[in-house]
Amino acid sequence: MTELTKLTISQALDLMRAGEISALELTEAHLVRIDALDGKIGAYLTVTADLARRQAAAADQARADGIDGALLGIPISLKDVLSTKGIETTCGSRILKGYKPLFDATAVARLYEAGAVLLGKVNMDEFAMGSSTENSGYFPTRNPWNLERVPGGSSGGSAASVAANMALASLGSDTGGSIRQPASFCGLSAIKPSYGRVSRYGLIAYGSSFDQTGPFARAVEDLARLLAVIAGHDPLDSTSMPLAAPDYSAALPGDIRGLKIGLPAEYFAEGLQPAVEAALRVAAAQLERLGAEVREVSLEHAEYCLPAYYIIAMAEASANLARYDGVRFGARVEGADLIDTYKKTRGAGFGDEVKRRIMLGTYTLSAGYYDAYYGKAQAVRTLIRQEFDALFAQVDALLAPVAPTTAFKFGAVMHDPLQMILADELTISANLAGLCGLSLPCGFDEEGLPIGMQILGAPFTEGRLLQVGQAYQTATDWHLRSPDLTS
């Protein structure tokens, strides 16, 4: 039998339903591996071992009583941006150290209802601001494929926990690529759902018009199971679309013959690592062999995505992070008066990257600059959305690299904010336009680092993306490879 921590969700469910393993055995195997390996990976901020054992025992009892669930007994991790009742939720920031929410995020509650077992909360760039998990307020997370490389960000802990076989799946969040890019760097499958597909209730906000929760796993079929659980309308979130969650698994064996897939020329421009481009071209050829029609397309406004995104995202960050003042929750540094307390608390609690984005966002929203920056960026965003709408009238999906390079070394771009921002240049367009995006492993570079591709779709076409991804993974084995962490 395959090692318990290397199972897919589907394999684990089959074994538990057949009585060959128990949820408690599966959970204990993961807790043992976390204890053995996380000291050098640094994926977990909090390990909820006692809770996991209780939930696993309850799952075994439910199964014995003839009750089943979509994820009954499946051990998962959660990015620390998702609120968990009674469990410390820091968003990777010192300013929220000690904060224990009084409620669960809707996505978390739905996982629990489906029978999932929580192993713990995982590391991230502070308030999801970063592309490497080096900006965590606690410690960096390392890439399981090469401990000298970053796992990507901001959901680096989610990606590393699954890639290192310390969880069967994880939930992360994607504001500008923070699910897809870590999945690419760590050789995983992951999906950023369309804006409004998954409730944002309980997801601590960075950019409210961009943020979306989505799953990491090893295989597309697992993503389909996870997304079906967390998707769907939520009256607690005013941006949640009134759409029921489809049965994504039912569409997976579908035929992709005749599907039109576009290759955006602007995503294959100068600066793309040769190994990344080569892997994408091979993947495109594979999709053609499976019957898809692949052709080059163009996005006229692609060059404006990066500036528009960062102006809007930083403005939203400035507004969202104003609530952290040391009065209502989280850390507090006493000052001489209320204003001094605000200053000292925020000065000590926020890291440099968060402070930078708050200041830039406040500037673009200030009198005299709002129209010149924020207003224009929103107008450009509308043009970008309209261009994607027109493009998806011609093609069913787009195929592109996730990131210009494979995982970079620690410190390589940490002190160059512009270079860190450029790590998101191929992913942010999906967030600007509210698209869905699937990230899949499609090869390795000359140093043995994973390469990821993204398949983008029009809003609420996740089922089609999963169908394409399943067809690709049926014909390839990149998603079956795991890093060697024995040494």
Which residues are catalytically annotated? 79, 154, 178
Which stretches of 249-375 are DSSP H helices? Answer: 274-289, 305-320, 338-349, 352-365
Distance separating alpha carbons of residues 245 and 320, to the nearest angstrom = 29
Distance separating alpha carbons of residues 48 and 118, to the nearest angstrom = 7
Residue at 61: amino acid letter = Q
Element holding 189 (H helix, E strand): strand 189-192
Distance separating alpha carbons of residues 334 and 338, to the nearest angstrom = 8
Sheet holding 397-401, edge to edge: 44-47, 117-122, 75-79, 169-173, 213-217, 189-192, 436-444, 450-457, 397-401, 260-264, 293-297
Element holding 437 (H helix, E strand): strand 436-444
- Write the DSSP assignment of 432-463 as a string of letters: HHT-EEEEEEEEE-TTS-EEEEEEEESTT-HH
Query: What is the 8-class DSSP label of residue 410?
Result: T
- Widest Cα–Cα separation across the chain: 70
Distance separating alpha carbons of residues 167 and 188, to the nearest angstrom = 12
Tokens representing 53 are: 């054992």
Q: Which residue has the tokens 């995104």?
A: 309
Distance separating alpha carbons of residues 370 and 373, to the nearest angstrom = 6
Element holding 216 (H helix, E strand): strand 213-217
- Write the DSSP assignment of 230-267 as a string of letters: HBS--TT-TTS-S-PPP-GGGGTT---TT-EEEEEGGG
Helix axes 9-17, 23-41, angle to 10 degrees: 150
Distance separating alpha carbons of residues 404 and 279, to the nearest angstrom = 12
Residues whose CB falls within 8 Å of the CB of residue 482, separated by 6 or more in sequence, listed in order: 6, 163, 165
